[in-house]
Amino acid sequence: MRTLQKYIFFFRYANKMAIPAEAEEDPNVKQCYTKYEMIIDEFWVAYKEECFAKRECIEASELQNDIVKMNQDIKNLLHRNQSQWEKLNNIPNKENLLYLGKNYRACLTEQRNLMKQVKENLEAIATLEFQVKNMEDKWSRRGRYPIVDVNIFEVIQEEAHVNKIFLTSHLPQELENEKNLASVVEKSVDSSCPSRETLHKLVAQAKDEVQLLMNEKLSLYANTEDKLGPFRKQASTIAQKKLEESNDIKDSKSTIARIDEAIREKEIALFNVVGGEILHGDELKHFIAGLREKSTLYKNLRAQLQSFASEQGVVSRSLDVLKNIDPTIEDAFFNASATTLEKFPVEFLGNISDAKLLCKDFMQDIENLKTSIAQTHAHLAHTKKDVESISGTMNSVKDIFENATSTVAEEVSQLKEQLRETQSDIDSLEKTWKTTTQSLDKNEYIFNRLIDEMINDSDITGSESGSYLTALAKKKDENQLLVQKTQETVRRLEECKREEREIVEFYKHTEYLVLEKFEEED
| Residue count of the chain | 522
Residue 156: predicted pLDDT? 64
Tell me if the pTM is above 0.85: no
pLDDT digits (tens, 9 = 90+) for 42-63: 777 887 888 888 888 888 888 8
* Residue 215: partners with Cβ closer than 8 Å, 6 or more residues away: 236, 239
Predicted confidence (pLDDT) at residue 424 exceeds the cutoff of 60: yes
Please give the residue that has the higher pLDDT: either 11 or 410: 410
pLDDT tens-digit map of 307-336: 777 777 776 776 676 667 666 655 654 454
Q: 3-state class of 327 per DSSP?
A: coil
Give me the helices (H) in 275-351, please.
282-325, 328-335
CB-count burial class (<10 Å; 0-12, 13-18, 19+) for 354: middle
Average pLDDT of the segment spanning 447-459:
59
Q: Give percent of the chain above pLDDT 90.
A: 0
Residue 461, pLDDT score:
47
What's the pLDDT at 20?
Answer: 61
Determine the Cα–Cα distance for residues 277 and 411; give it in Å rounded to an integer: 19
- DSSP label of 427: H
How does 412-451 read in b/e, with b if 16+ C-beta sit within 10 Å?
beeeeeebeebeeebeebbebbbebbbbbbbbeebbeeee
Nearest to 362 by CA among 342, 335, 341: 341
Q: In the structure, what pLDDT confidence band is assigned to residue 385 with cuts at 50, 70 and 90? A: confident
- The answer to whether 264 and 97 have CB atoms below 8 angstroms apart is no
Closest Cα to residue 401, out of 297, 283, 508, 517?
517
Strands (E), 16-69: none
For range 5-33, the mean pLDDT: 58
Closest by Cα among 255, 258, 272, 259 to 407: 272
Query: Do the Cβ atoms of 463 and 160 come closer than 8 Å?
Result: no
CB 368 within 8 A of CB 49: no
Q: What are 137-164's pLDDT values in tens digits?
A: 776 665 544 444 445 556 666 666 666 6
Q: Which residues contact 308 (CB under 8 A, 6 or more apart)?
A: 56, 377, 380
Q: Do the Cβ atoms of 467 and 167 come closer than 8 Å?
A: yes
Cα 250-254-255 angle, rounded to 5 deg = 115
- Residue burial 147-178, b: 16+ Cβ < 10 Å; e: rest: eeeeeeeebbeebbeebbebbeeebeebeeeb
- 66-99: pLDDT as tens digits: 888 887 888 888 887 777 777 767 766 667 766 7
pLDDT of amino acid 19: 59
The mean of the pLDDT values for the chain is: 68
Report residue 267 CA to chain centroid gap. Answer: 9
